[in-house]
Amino acid sequence: MLGDRQIWRSSGRLADGREIVYFDESPGRAEPPGKQERPASRPESGLRWDPLAGEWVMYAADRQERTYRPVAANCPLCPSRPGYGTEIPAADYDVVVFENRYPALTGPGRCEVICFTAEHDGSFADLSPRRVQTVFEAWADRSAELGGLAGVEHVYCFENRGEEIGVTLSHPHGQVYGFPFVPPRTQRLLASAHAHRQRTGRNLFDDLVDAELADGRRIVARNETWTAFVPRAARWPFEVMIFPAQRVTDLTQVDAAARAAFAMVYLDVLKRLDALFGAPMPYIAAWQQAPARAARAEFGLHLHVMAIRRAAGKLKYLAGTESGAGAWSNDVLPETAARLLREAGGGSPDGR
């Protein structure tokens, strides 16, 4: 399962009952803290149905109190040290996942934090390929585990990067949501794939990737296992989708070779994004995978990277057109975005 790289997994409970899982690249972790009772769920949280949009909306009133841009010495995602306990009751870790203290979802849903490194400074783009593989194992592990929880309908692994996108903790980390519903984007992709199958007899994601490979103008990086491209109808200034050569439905289905090969393409893309304007690129990176239970067969797993800086010092905002009408407007042509990314210095010889 882990290619040539072994990973040591250990799990336990934090003092307040939240689950924590370590993914270590070497053995020897001491036992995690013992299980305690989970606090009662908060009365002011939950889901409400929006009858106009036909969608669920999540409420989490106590998230207003969540930690907001602490100084590095107070970072809750660093390892604990003598006299200062953080969210992680350990002196060191490689990759660790734990339930969010300020979840957007409670009840049947679940929100987890995934720390990519114990190093406070830096970013995902600075991780070693080995570490990216360990992160991938954690994503696949959480997809399997949360997808098996009663009431969880979809597992969503994502990273928000940059203050410009609202990140309140700079320590390199992402999140894993176990949604108690299939979120709208996933529903929409599945509906499009089913309609495409009915109309053409083919798979939508296969056709999309084939068309991008045949065209070639929007390819950013690729190796034998993964292809990164700016989609022809990109809605973000710099938007990249990374698909495996062999379509799979979800993260658990990615084989060992592809898990190992992912790092080279993704790190290359991230370094190109940071190089574009000579400044850390604010982005959202989201794994789009099949729902945990609903119709799954037509889905094509891919990583969806949405970068929001449209020019040096200028961001893309979701204003009246996008937020009010749901209609996207993009100032950067996808072919231009792909060319600029290819010209920006990448970090890997695998990128072309």
- Of 34, 83, 166, 216, the residue at the interface with a copy of itself (CB under 8 A) is 166
Told to check if 200 binds a copy of itself by CB under 8 A, we report no
Told to check if 330 binds a copy of itself by CB under 8 A, we report yes
Tokens representing 251?
A: 């993260």
The residues with which 221 forms a beta bridge, in sequence order, are 228
Told to check if 104 binds a copy of itself by CB under 8 A, we report yes
Minimum CB distance to a copy of itself smaller for 105 or for 261: 105
Told to check if 198 binds a copy of itself by CB under 8 A, we report no
How many whole angstroms separate alpha carbon 87 and alpha carbon 31? Answer: 16
Window 238-277: contact mask with a copy of itself (x via CB under 8 A):
----------------------------------------
DSSP at 64: G
Told to check if 279 binds a copy of itself by CB under 8 A, we report no
Helix pair 204-215, 184-200: axis angle to 10 deg: 80
Please give the residues from 206 up to 245 whose contact with a copy of itself meets the rule CB under 8 A: 208, 231-235
Minimum CB distance to a copy of itself smaller for 58 or for 251: 58
How many whole angstroms separate alpha carbon 24 and alpha carbon 5? Answer: 11
Question: Rg of the chain's alpha carbons, rounded to an integer?
Answer: 20
173 is catalytic: yes
Burial of 207 (0-12, 13-18, 19+ CB in 10 A): middle
- Of 75, 90, 149, 167, the residue at the interface with a copy of itself (CB under 8 A) is 167
Q: How far is the CB of 84 from a copy of itself (least distance, A)?
A: 26
Binding-site size for a copy of itself (CB under 8 A) equals 75
Please give the residues from 332 up to 351 whose contact with a copy of itself meets the rule CB under 8 A: 332-334, 336
Told to check if 30 binds a copy of itself by CB under 8 A, we report no
- Of 149, 165, 213, 294, the residue at the interface with a copy of itself (CB under 8 A) is 165
Closest CA to 14 of 114, 99, 111: 99
Told to check if 192 binds a copy of itself by CB under 8 A, we report yes
Tokens representing 136?
A: 């991938």
Q: How far is the CB of 75 from a copy of itself (least distance, A)?
A: 19
Please give the residues from 300 up to 329 whose contact with a copy of itself meets the rule CB under 8 A: 304, 306, 310-311, 314-321, 323-329
Q: Which helix (H) or strand (E) holds 198?
A: helix 184-200
Provide the CB-side half-sphere exposure for 286 (13 A, CA): 15
Catalytic residue among 154, 171, 173, 304: 173
How many whole angstroms separate alpha carbon 58 and alpha carbon 56? Answer: 7
How many whole angstroms separate alpha carbon 29 and alpha carbon 45? Answer: 36
Q: How far is the CB of 310 from a copy of itself (least distance, A)?
A: 7
User: Under the phi-then-psi rule, with left for phi > 0, alpha for psi from -120 to 50, and beta for the rest, what region is 107?
Assistant: left
Closest CA to 260 of 134, 116, 97, 172: 134
Instruction: Pick the piece of the chain touching a copy of itself (CB under 8 A) from 114-122, 140-148, 154-162, 263-271.
Output: 154-162
Minimum CB distance to a copy of itself smaller for 23 or for 299: 299
Instruction: Pick the piece of the chain touching a copy of itself (CB under 8 A) from 4-12, 24-32, 51-59, 269-277.
Output: 51-59
Residues 6 or more apart whose Cβ sits within 8 Å of residue 135: 23, 95, 114, 116, 127
Q: Which residues are catalytic?
A: 173
